[in-house]
Structure 1
Amino acid sequence: MARLPIDAQYLTEQLKALLKIPSPTGYTDTVVRHVTQEVQRLGLDVELTRRGGIIAIHRGKGRAAARAIVGHVDTLGAQVKRLKENGRLELVSIGHWSARFAEGARATIFSEAGTYRGTILPLKASGHTFNEEIDTLPVGWPYVELRIDAIARTDAETRKLGIDVGDIVAIDPQPEFLENGYIVSRHLDDKAGVAVMLAAAEALAREKAETEVDIHFLFTIAEEVGVGAASILTPDVASMVAIDNGTTAPGQNSSEFGVTIAMADQTGPFDFHLTQKLVRLCREEDIRFQKDVFRYYRSDSASAVEAGHDVRTALITFGVDASHGYERIHVHALRSLAELVTAYATSPIEIERDREYHAGLKGFTRQPTREAPQVIEDDPAPAHVPAGVV
């Protein structure tokens, strides 16, 4: 079956709803409830892990060699490290992001007594007081503090509010959805990926699409701290495609348009055969794509492999400008990703041997080894050998 039509309005509405729910790693119960209720509405079979990882299954003709699509609902955030003598809060980051992007952010503190609002400020925030020193203060988490919008002038007053060390701090996303298709917000990593997964699941349900095997839509809750899909996979899953952000920074080949297929990240190359299949599907279905390699990046798939899961992995991404900061994406990439997910979900099984946990050499995959044909300069249509054909 070819790629399925994607409801772009549904996709963007789901993204807006997700961005409204604070969900830094460690505080994801509310967003888990939201996503679970939505996939149940779409008719998927749903189970939750103890901590809230979501396994939502579109049932296919068979369970062996099931396919997984994975994204994470948790985001970056912060945590209270110390109640300062001036009543403000020293913070540590949740996930890896620069305090440069925290300065000026509005935030919510989740305390035992309830929630409080506040602003993350540099230690020297007033030009009227510190003059040019506000421009020479170093960048880093030791040089910012959270000002609470309540009577909190001393550490005793702050403690009286019910705020304490370890409280979770969620950063406001401040989203903007522009008419030209651009979306600017914090936490698009990976709430945009989750919206893509929901849009693909909606298309499969709407079109009553049949799949050869079960399709597991997996939503993890701790990717930003390196846990990811370590414990959510079941043994019948043979291949897993992660959806996350691709960086459109200088020196990278990612784009805010189309699908960016990652060939490798800091953990090494992704599975050759699964990645080449995704490339081939993009070509066959006329989905714009480009390839990239990420040197300082890991996703849900890395944690799964490191945990010992024998599963083929690949990573497809939406191009993000200023990742882990004020991020910007384009709806074209999100729609393209959802189209690719539907094309992959409905495509036939090509490696029959993957239906078995262990098997002999018969049916084992082959990678191309023969010399590529020479291109003659005056040949208007040189021969082409598709990747993986031997």
Structure 2
Amino acid sequence: MGKYTDYIMKTAQDLLAVPSPSGFTHMAAEFVKKEFEKLGYEPQITQKGAVLVKLGGKDDKNAVVLAAHMDTLGGMVCQIMDNGRLKLTNIGGMNPNNAEAENCKVYTKSGKVYDATFQLENASVHVNGEYSDTKRTYDTMEAILDEPVKTKEDVKKLGIMTGDFVCFDPRTVVTQSGYIKSRFLDDKFSTAILLGYAKYLKEKKVETERTIYVLITSYEEVGHGGCAAIPDGVTEMISVDMGCVGKGLECDETMVSICAKDSMGPYDYQVVSGLIKAAQENDIAFAVDVYPHYGSDVDAALKAGYDMKHGLIGPGVYASHGYERSHKDGAKNTLKLLKAYLG
């Protein structure tokens, strides 16, 4: 599986470089669409901005959809201050504590892009005696443009306005030991894994018993990514998202995590049992965990009324919604589980 793991790692790095907070995913969608086309598939971009592609398979009436999401956390300009600084509102769960002192870019409606840094107000420690005691919130922090602006009018002359998206630097690093560190591994790492799985099926000429679709969604981080575009005939949906790594959980970054329950409730017993059996029988490094603060595209699909079984797997990711870390072996074991479970 080394060839496909290498492809996943390279594709993940390329996709992480494409800005795509929820609602601003058009560039990522084009990237994903073109990658599927390079592999010989015929993807489509849905009205909602997701990428849907049929990978093949024999049984269209008992189909499986594999869902990952390309949308990430981010920010949006909500106020231009009189001093030329920008107040932001979060897109998804972008925590201001994790975003402090991060480089970012402001994308204007006219297409111009401006560099900025997200900082605490009065961010100089030598000046601000309350620096350490100030709670980091979107009220106490601001984006400082790397432009010579002094007033609200100066900023508006640049074409910046309320509603412009602010995209944070992913700071992607791959170490010699196989770790990948970046913002937004959730869920671009698993998007790359599904592209790797599609590459494997095509190159090995594998025809699965059940028809398999891939749906790369665009609004998962705000809760409604999987609510639409599930094809007819789908009886099972598996969200391939980040596996949680943290205190009280068994998964680490080198493993594939199988989720038994998240904050929305338990996953389908038959699906979870089948995934565990496939992992055990194929010598796959895995963990089964309960995620205490988590929701997925599958949860959204069930809330939308789709009648199907559901599951959730993914490579272990540490420091979720912060500066995240995973490992190439996490990708390898997730790919192996997809192969073993789906045939």
Question: TM-score over 0.5 for the alignment?
Answer: yes
Task: Read off the aligned partner of 1:117 and give its amino acid letter.
Answer: D
Equivalent-residue separation in structure 2 for 1:40 and 1:274 (angstroms):
30
How big is each residue's C-alpha offset from its partner over 1:174-204, in whole Å with a ceiling of 9 and x where there is no partner? 0110010111110100000101111111111
Amino acid paired to 2:156: R
**Does the 8 A contact of 2:20 with 2:28 survive in 1?**
yes
After superposition, residues 238-277 of structure 1 pair within 5 angstroms as 238-277=235-274
Aligned residues: 342
1:293-372 to structure 2, matched below 5 A, reads: 293-346=290-343
Find the residue that maps to 1:135 and give its secondary structure.
Answer: coil
Q: What does residue 355 of structure 1 align with?
A: none
Q: In terms of mean alpha carbon deviation, does 244-253 or 137-146 score higher?
A: 244-253
1:117 equivalent in structure 2: 115
Q: 2:314 is matched by which residue type in structure 1?
A: T
Q: Paired residue for 1:292?
A: 289
List structure 1 runs of 4+ shifted beyond 6 angstroms: none
Following superposition, the deviation at residue 5 of structure 1 comes to 6.6
Please tell me whether the aligned partners of residues 81 and 92 of structure 1 are also in contact (alpha carbons under 8 angstroms): yes
Q: Report the secondary structure of 1:280's partner residue.
A: helix
1:118-176, CA deviations, whole angstroms, 9 ceiling, x for partnerless residues?
Answer: 0000012001211x311111121111100011122111111111101111000010011
Per-residue Cα deviation, 1:336-373 (whole angstroms, up to 9, x for no partner):
10111122222xxxxxxxxxxxxxxxxxxxxxxxxxxx
Quote the Cα distance in structure 2 between the aligned partners of 1:161 and 1:5.
48
Residues in 1 aligned to 2:216 and 2:117: alpha-carbon distance in whole angstroms: 30
The within-5 A match list for 1:1-390 is 7-113=4-110, 114-130=112-128, 132-346=129-343
Corresponding residue SS for 2:139: helix
* Alignment gaps of 5+ in structure 2: none
For residues 44 and 71 of structure 2, the distance between their equivalents in structure 1, rounded to whole angstroms, comes to: 18
Equivalent residue number for residue 382 of structure 1: none
Contact 2:52–2:216 (CA under 8 A) maintained in structure 1: yes
In structure 2, relative to structure 1, the CA distance for the partners of 1:194 and 1:344 (3 Å cut) is same
1:96 and 1:88 mapped to 2: Cα distance?
22
What RMSD over aligned residues (CA atoms) do the two structures have, in Å? 1.2
Q: Give the secondary structure class of the aligned counterpart of 1:140.
A: coil
Structure 1 residue runs of 5 or longer lacking an equivalent are 347-390
Aligned residues of 1:124 and 1:137 also touching (Cα < 8 A): no
Q: Deviations over 1:258-293 (max 9, x none)?
A: 211000101100011011111111011111111000
Once the two structures are superposed, residues 190-234 of structure 1 have per-residue CA deviations (whole angstroms, 9 ceiling, x without a partner) of: 000101111111111111001112110110001000012100212
| Letter of the structure 2 residue corresponding to residue 123 of structure 1 | E
2:101 is matched by which residue type in structure 1? G
Q: SS in structure 1 opposite 2:61? A: coil
Cα separation, 2, equivalents of 1:333 and 1:85? 48
Read off the aligned partner of 1:323 and give its amino acid letter: S
What's the CA shift string for 1:78-129, capped at 9, x where partnerless?
A: 0011001110100011001310011111001011231111000001200121
3-state SS of 1:283 partner: helix
Kept after mapping to 2: 8 A contact 1:6/1:199: no
Distance 1:247 1:61, change over 3 A: closer
CA distance in 1, matches of 2:157, 2:287: 54
Question: Which deviates the most, 151-160 or 260-269?
Answer: 151-160
Greater alpha carbon shift after TM alignment, 332-341 vs 249-258 = 249-258
Query: Counterpart of 2:276 in 1: which secondary structure?
Result: helix
Q: Which amino acid aligns with 2:210?
A: V
CA deviation after TM superposition for structure 1 residue 6, in Å:
5.4
Q: TM-score under structure 2 normalisation?
A: 0.97
Cα offset, 1:303, TM superposition: 0.4
Judge conservation of contact 2:75–2:94 (CA < 8 Å) in 1. Answer: no
What amino acid sits opposite 1:214 in the alignment? T
| Deviating more after overlay: 87-96 vs 44-53 | 44-53
Change (3 A) 1:6 1:63: farther
Partners in 2 of 1:6 and 1:214 — Cα distance? Answer: 24
